[in-house]
Amino acid sequence: MSRDSNGNKKPRISKISNSGSNTAKPRAQKSTRPRPERSEESKEPKAAKAPREPRLMSQSEAKSYDKSFERTAKPAGKRIGKSFGAAGKFVKGETKSRTTKLFKNYERPVDENEKTRNFVQKRRFDKLAKEVPKETIRLNKYIANSGICSRREADELITQGLVQVNGTVVTEMGYQVQKTDKVIFDGQGITPEKPVYILLNKPKGYISTTKDEKARKTVMDLVANASPYRVFPVGRLDRSTTGVILLTNDGHMTKKLTHPSFNMKKIYHVTLDRKLDRADLNAIAEGIRLEEGVAEVDSISYIEGKPKNEVGIEIHIGWNRVVRRIFGRLGYEVELLDRVMFAGLTKKNIKRGHWRILSELEVNNLKMM
């Protein structure tokens, strides 16, 4: 440290270079000299460059290019972020693109009544499937399954000697019966199968038989999965006739519904090739004579709101093709024939070619006829 002439210390002054000074230099003023104007040659647009010829990539370069593109490609139709869920809440995560909802196929709303009917039919079918008999079965259960009585009552019938198996009276409790055995009670043969009653809305082109020699379609093809037991059609409908038909394994019920003495009524919707005259309608109501005799008609009338060539006819006779023959005798041709009611059963809520199992109330009504 330096001292002055009197011996006092002098303060040390640091030298600051001009480069490190914080003082800003004054900004240079712009030149006011006018810019030289561009020549006409410079104003002309530049000539376009010739297009570059495409260069073909080698096979190794093409493979590496494809791989890099696959790594960078993102899946289409999805986005990551927040979206609204089905309940209207804000949900995080992946959501489908809105376009998938816009172009989604329209689905017809399901009728609640139809869902209920399908559920009831499924329960009835499952109940029948569980009751399929085994190879051998106890005699009292065999009798109870036939619907005659309960197991306890069947034991009493067996001890009284009222049951025969293959022509021999059996009084042994717990006796095992096979499917091939013939069981007789009160002079009538019985089967262990629980009676099944299936109502079918028959479409056109099906025959009302169990088998056909010409391999044509039968009603059995439509009810193949309706019951674990073998069923048979009650009565017949022509191949071209549509409408309600009953199928069952109950032989007593089949005999009752088809025998003429029981007078089971049937209603048909008839469509003719031309208008039915009032005189011919009255003649049919009085009775038309056919080969078997006079075809008695319970009632016949025009259908309200329909043309005069459509009529409804109610009969109880079961002659072969009787409705077509009645109108054919008067010179009419039946174009469409649809049975809308049989023994009090209608095809309501049954689509063409579909079936349903009768309820207990409907079965009881048939037994009371």
Catalytic residue of the set 238, 250, 273, 298: 238
φ, ψ (nearest 5 deg) of residue 336: -135, 135
- Please return the burial class of 346, using the count of CB atoms within 10 Å of its CB with bins 0-12, 13-18 and 19+: middle
DSSP output for 103-154: TPPP-PPPPHHHHHHHHHHHHHHHHHHHT---SEEEHHHHHHHTTSS-HHHH
Cα 251 from chain centroid (whole Å): 32
CB 254 within 8 A of CB 221: no
The CA distance from 158 to 343, in Å, is: 36
Where are the extended beta strands (E) located within 207-265?
Answer: 232-234, 242-248
Has 238 been annotated as catalytic? yes
Give catalytic residue positions: 238
